[in-house]
C-alpha cells in the first residue's frame, strides 16, 4: 500500500531543506511519507551532488568584509562560485557574511588542511609526543594523531565547528549551500586583522 504524498508535506519538506519540489516529492515517496527520513535522503543526495560539483571552475563570487564592534577585529574573505547570478543572491551573500563572522570569532590560520604549514604540524606532533612520553608507542601514536585532529579543527576554517551551529563543521555548511544553490562554492582566501596582534 503506497502512502499518499500531499502538497502540504512536499511544501513542508521544501521549506525545511530548500530542495526542489520534484526532489521533495521523490524523497517523500521513497521515505513512505516520513518527513525526517525524506530530509535525510535529500541531505545524502545533496552531499553527493556537491561532490560532483567540486571539480567545476568557480571564478565568480564576492569579497566580503566585516569589522567587529569597536574596530579591533576586521576580516576580508573571498568566496567564489561559478556564476555572477548566484553571487548576487541573498543566500550567497549571507554565506559570505557568516564566513566573515566565523573567521572573526574563531581565528583560523588557513582555509584547508592542505594549507597548514608543515612546520606547524611538526611542532604540534612534537608537543603531543612529549605530553604522551612514557606511554606505549601505539598509545603515543593515537594520542599524537588525536591532537593533530584537534589542531586541524581549530586551525583550518573548513574543519572548525560553525559558530552559529557548533554541531556542524564549516565544510558541512558549505556543502549544504553547494547542493542548494547548484554551483561549486570555494572559499578562496581570507585575511583577519586584529589590533595589536
Q: What is the pLDDT of residues 24-45, one digit of tens each?
A: 888 888 888 888 888 887 777 7
The answer for residues whose C-beta is within 8 angstroms of residue 165's C-beta and 6 or more apart is: 173
CA distance 9 to 4: 10
Q: Give residue for cell 574573505.
A: 77
The pLDDT value given to residue 77: 97
Structure confidence by residue, pLDDT tens digits, 140-196? 888 888 888 888 888 999 999 999 999 999 998 998 898 888 888 999 999 999 998
What is the residue extent of each domain of the chain? 7-53, 60-112+156-194, 117-154
Lowest-confidence segment of 13-22, 127-136, 173-182 by average pLDDT: 13-22
H or E segment to which residue 135 belongs: none
How many angstroms separate the CA atoms of 168 and 90, rounded?
22
pLDDT at 181: 86
- Give the separation between CA 96 and CA 64, rounded to whole angstroms: 6
Distance separating alpha carbons of residues 35 and 162, to the nearest angstrom: 25
Range among 1-5, 23-27, 46-50 rated most confident: 23-27
User: Cβ–Cβ contacts within 10 Å for residue 140, how many?
Assistant: 17
Between the alpha carbon of residue 8 and those of residues 1, 23, 32, the distances in Å are 20, 15, 15
* 131 vs 55: CA distance, rounded Å: 40
To which residue does cell 588542511 refer?
Answer: 113
Q: Is the pLDDT higher at 50 or at 43?
A: 43
Q: Under CATH, domain 7-53 is a member of which superfamily? A: Ubiquitin-associated (UBA) domain (1.10.8.10)
CB 191 within 8 A of CB 181: no
Give me the sheet containing 60-67, strands edge to edge. Answer: 60-67, 73-81, 186-194
Which of the residue ranges 31-35, 106-110, 113-117, 157-161 would you say has the lowest mean pLDDT? 31-35
Nearest-CA neighbor of 14 among 30, 27, 1? 27
Confidence band (pLDDT; 50, 70, 90) for 9?
confident
Q: Report d(CA 193, CA 177) in Å as an integer.
A: 27
Structure-block grid coordinates of residue 100? 566573515
Tens of pLDDT, residues 52-94: 555 666 779 999 999 998 899 999 999 999 999 999 999 999 9
Level-2 CATH architecture, domain 60-112+156-194: 2-Layer Sandwich (3.30)
Choice among 5-14, 51-60, 79-88, 96-105 with the minimum mean pLDDT: 51-60
pLDDT for 51 beyond 70: no
Amino acid at each position: 500500500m503506497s502512502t499518499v504524498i500531499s502538497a502540504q508535506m512536499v511544501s513542508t519538506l521544501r521549506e525545511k531543506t530548500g530542495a526542489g519540489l520534484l526532489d521533495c516529492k521523490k524523497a517523500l515517496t521513497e521515505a513512505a511519507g516520513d518527513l525526517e527520513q525524506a530530509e535525510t535522503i535529500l541531505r545524502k543526495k545533496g552531499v553527493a551532488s556537491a561532490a560532483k560539483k567540486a571539480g567545476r571552475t568557480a571564478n565568480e563570487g564576492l569579497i566580503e568584509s566585516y569589522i567587529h564592534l569597536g574596530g579591533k577585529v576586521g576580516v576580508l574573505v573571498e568566496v567564489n562560485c561559478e556564476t555572477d547570478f548566484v553571487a548576487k543572491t541573498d543566500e550567497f551573500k549571507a554565506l559570505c557574511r557568516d564566513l566573515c563572522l566565523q573567521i572573526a570569532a574563531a581565528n583560523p590560520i588557513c582555509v584547508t588542511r592542505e594549507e597548514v604549514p608543515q612546520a606547524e604540524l611538526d611542532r604540534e606532533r612534537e608537543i603531543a609526543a612529549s605530553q604522551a612520553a612514557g606511554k606505549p608507542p601505539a598509545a603515543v601514536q593515537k594520542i599524537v594523531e588525536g591532537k593533530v585532529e584537534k589542531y586541524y579543527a581549530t586551525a583550518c576554517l573548513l574543519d572548525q565547528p560553525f559558530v552559529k551551529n557548533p554541531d556542524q563543521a564549516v565544510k558541512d555548511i558549505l556543502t549544504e549551500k553547494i547542493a542548494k544553490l547548484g554551483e561549486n562554492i570555494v572559499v578562496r582566501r581570507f585575511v583577519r586583522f586584529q589590533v595589536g596582534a
